[in-house]
Amino acid sequence: MSDKEKTIEALQAIVTGLSANSFGHRIQSKIFAGLGFQSLGDKYASHATEEMDFVEQFMDRILDLGGEIKQEAQEAKPVYTDIVEFIEADYKVSVEGIAFLNEMMESGIFDATTYDLMKVYLKDEEEDMYWSEQQLDLCKMIGKQNYLTQLLINDQTAAE
């Protein structure tokens, strides 16, 4: 059976954390583009926008349920200039976030509408996690310098 107050609390926690992650991705997009990795910068800028779209959907759901949206503080997070270190950290956040989402979905607190919204968000998060995992596997296979060189080559090929 769903629990409206717990649903609102969970959605607020997601709004708070996801809006901070979105801003972090926006920062990383600027850093990576500034380092010359434009496609990676574009990827994370797009990802940040996608995350804010989910934040807005979750805020709308809080309001639909009669809750109040809060702007809550978040701890400062590291900013990375090392691309692989960032992907590793982002992968870890995805794994932890997906575990949290699965726990919430299995708890039975969500009504059908919120549950369906969470399923769409979970699918998106899993796709992001798999992309990061693929990049890290590729980096291990070919080495960090070759991985970074490949990113630059792909950027130059796309620019032609």
Residues 158, 9: Cα–Cα separation, whole Å: 44
> What is the rounded end-to-end Cα distance, in angstroms, of the chain?
56
pLDDT of res. 160: 58
CA distances to 69, 84, 102, 149 from 118, in Å: 18, 29, 9, 37
Percent of the chain predicted with pLDDT > 70: 96
State pLDDT tens for residues 95-117.
Answer: 999 999 999 999 999 999 999 99
pLDDT of res. 33: 95
Per-residue pLDDT band at 48 (split at 50, 70, 90): very high
State pLDDT tens for residues 107-158.
Answer: 999 999 999 999 999 999 999 999 999 999 999 999 999 999 998 887 777 6
pLDDT of res. 1: 54
**Mean model confidence pLDDT for the chain:** 94
42 token code pair = 């574009």
CA distances to 62, 66, 111, 121, 138 from 106, in Å: 19, 23, 12, 15, 33
Question: What residues contact 127, with CB distance under 8 A and at least 6 apart?
Answer: none
Evaluate if residue 72 carries a pLDDT over 60. yes
Evaluate if residue 159 carries a pLDDT over 70. no
CA distances to 37, 44, 127, 157 from 131, in Å: 17, 12, 6, 21
Evaluate if residue 40 carries a pLDDT over 80. yes
